[in-house]
Amino acid sequence: MKKLVMVATITASLIGLSACSGDDAEVVVETNEGNITKDAFYEELKATAGESVLQNMVLKTILESKYEIDESAIEDQMNMYREQYGDMFEMLLQQQGIASEAAFEEQLRMQMLQQKALSDGVEVTDEEIEAQYNRMINEVQASHILVEDEELANELYERATSGEDFAALAEEYSTDSGSAVEGGSVGYFSRGQMVPAFEDKAYELEIGDISEPVQSEYGYHIIYVTDKRPVETDVEALEDVRDQLESEIAATKVDSTQAQEKITQLLKDADIDVLVEEFEDTFVFEDPAADLEENVDVEEDADADTDETDDTTDESAE
């Protein structure tokens, strides 16, 4: 079968459409020029996004049957985004193609379910959980210089640690135009607000330290930590968020191949039978053992052909 894609988002409006109405004449849109029936709407959705929506819905059903998530954790996440973006929150959702806060909340729920699945059986230490919690209750103030070239990054690191003014270097060289005009300052941040490589290094550094170049998907960062302090907002007690942190940390320990294998195995174990004819092969998985056997047969046939060729060559030589 085609490789199933890990589900990161769910379109709430499509999930709500679970089946075609038995009444073909049921109208969902009326216009002066003609109407659109629920049946026509369903058929169009099947044709344009049917398989991906079906995969999403099936996986969501399986995950919800096997794992539980803390609904209060979802609400906490939603409140964090509302506070962080304020009146801009709904506009940002629309820019990302997300229809509503309810649809975004559904995405968060699905992501947490997947984290539960991927973390199942993965060992996480108390030290790792405590380190992540420390990032929740403390924030870092830092500046950085971002460049695309590693050689330039190493040169700027040497100059910064040799006493040159960090802010002046950031203003001249950093490709992060937003922070460059502020001398490289990115202000205060806490857990989850920076790319992982940046965040990890920033929390490792002491106040006044400058890091060697740290690579992320944006380029090479030279990070200068200028302050650390407790966060101003209230944070839940460690024991109340331990399970959530454990799942999140465990998920980072599973690579993309392992993640795909875990999700695929969940789907296989569910014994899925699709009753919609055009999608009946959506969850038909290839059998690696059969593929191996087929490859062995091909190799044996090739060896046999080679032997026959060798025999013919020998006879010709005689």
Structural domains in the chain, CATH included, are 1-122+254-287 (no CATH), 136-230 (3.10.50.40)
pLDDT value of position 211:
98
Return the higher-pLDDT residue of 11 and 56: 56
Q: How far is CA 89 from CA 104, 109, 186, 233, in A?
A: 11, 18, 21, 19
Return the higher-pLDDT residue of 307 and 18: 307
Type of residue at 90: E
**Global pTM value:** 0.58
Q: For residues 152 and 215, give the distance between their C-alpha atoms in angstroms, rounded to a whole number.
A: 13
pLDDT value of position 303:
53
When pLDDT is cut at 50, 70 and 90, the band that residue 275 belongs to is confident
Q: Average model confidence (pLDDT) for the chain?
A: 83
Does the pLDDT at position 2 exceed 50?
A: no
Best mean pLDDT range from 90-99, 214-223, 234-243, 307-316: 214-223
When pLDDT is cut at 50, 70 and 90, the band that residue 143 belongs to is very high
Per residue in 156-209, pLDDT (tens digit) is 999 999 999 999 999 999 999 999 999 999 999 999 899 999 999 999 999 999
Q: Which of 50-64, 223-237, 244-258 has the lowest mean pLDDT?
A: 244-258
Nearest to 167 by CA among 190, 186, 154: 186
Q: Which residue's entry shows tokens 């170049």?
A: 213
